[in-house]
A and B are shown apart, each in its own frame.
Chain A
């Protein structure tokens, strides 16, 4: 929970259905092999208990994993990891996975920009 000061990817998402807001911060670093690893992930949320639980679970699922693996996490993985969610709360888990995807996108865009600058 909270934010990462030197995050290199941020995903902000608002859910119009119920007014929830979720921000995901990620820190991606390359390991010795040059593989991109998600070394840290934190979140901030204005949401219900289910929103907080799904946000928290996605940080657990993603932290320390290869970026290529993290990209595959979807809402079903979160729901399964939580041991199920009421139907009406499934959108919370979708929100968490979407915010993470956005953060990864943000990270990739930043790298693209960096590359361009280097040219």
Chain B
């Protein structure tokens, strides 16, 4: 049987074997609680702080500014809720965009029920936020701007340095969700004036269930979980040492060479897809697009049908569209770009990884060309 072609890496990645090897001793050998005073606990604590240092260094942060969480969703919840409760009622306004991950948007919607005012900014047809729009939206009630760094559906990379500069000038905090961009696009919290950054492990060949929130020193934030006082009393709970060690390893082995390779393969894949008639790329081209993201609309056929037929060929992709997830709703991101529900339903997201080969791309292009042709024949929308 042909090997699997996994093109759903924006959902999650395969854990790198080096990461697994690094994690293993921390399950049943160095299994201690990092708060314990004995040798097994101290060794776990050492591993915890070693890992924290690696992650802090990767975004040019201080070691004490990294708070480990259970992943990106928790880090996003912590950032927004924690800052809201430490600012409310003096300040209650958050500025975000219409293309955030659900773990930002749904937190915002809930915060609205708690007294928050939220501005959801529009984006242009490539998914970029206009910095002037942010500037115009800031009021004396604004305490936070939260904007996703690399978009999970369409790959748009925002100019966080420009946004950071603006927020610093206006004395408003800036949080960015960097789950998709981490290790792919340089993050430098000092140079880019970032106040809070969401990071996670399972998009970068690390384990699931572990992430981090960078919180700049001196920021007042309400704790996320109260308890034994772990993570600077901000996020209590016995630390997930194997996960954290794996997270650090995945960061440690990330490199620019992989990014360059993925960029080349991404562009080859896009070029091949655009050779099919009536195909439109969603999101930007070039270095303002995540190196592993491709999102296209096929017109007149449904993305999920394409995905189903691709799966028969052992190719795994995803749609963010209707009938796909548990919601039956069209993608809020594609809608924000101005796509019609029909165009949105005909879209497919292909997200490659460092394991993707040229052979995978050729096989994929050969199969998808045939599938699209077949589905268009049976589509009532094809003339």
Contact = CB atoms under 8 A, between A and B. Distances in A.
Interface of A: 1-2, 12, 17-23, 43-52, 88-89, 92
Nearest to A44: B380
Contacts of B188: none
B326 A20 contact: no
A13 to B, nearest CB: 10
Given A19-B322, A50-B323, A88-B326, A45 B342 contact: no
A63 B19 CA distance: 56
Given A18-B328, A47-B305, A2 B380 contact: no
A43 B378 contact: yes
Interface stretch (B94-102, B169-177, B296-304): B296-304
A45 B328 contact: no
Contact of A21 (B307, B309, B381): B381
A67 to B, nearest CB: 24
A2 B382 CA distance: 11
B323 A52 contact: no
A18 B322 contact: yes
Contacts, number: 65
B308 interface: yes
A49 B321 CA distance: 13
Given A44-B378, A48-B324, A50-B323, 10 more contacts: A2-B377, A19-B330, A19-B341, A22-B380, A23-B380, A46-B379, A46-B380, A47-B323, A51-B302, A52-B378
A89 B323 contact: yes
B345 interface: yes
Main SS at interface, chain B:
loop
A93 B308 CA distance: 17
B379 A45 contact: yes
B326 A2 contact: no
A18 B345 CA distance: 8
Contact of B342 (A2, A19, A50): A19
B322 A45 contact: no
Given A18-B323, A19-B322, A47 B377 contact: no
A20 B328 CA distance: 11
B309 A49 contact: yes
A44 B300 CA distance: 11
A20 B357 CA distance: 35
B279 to A, nearest CB: 16
Contacts of B324: 48
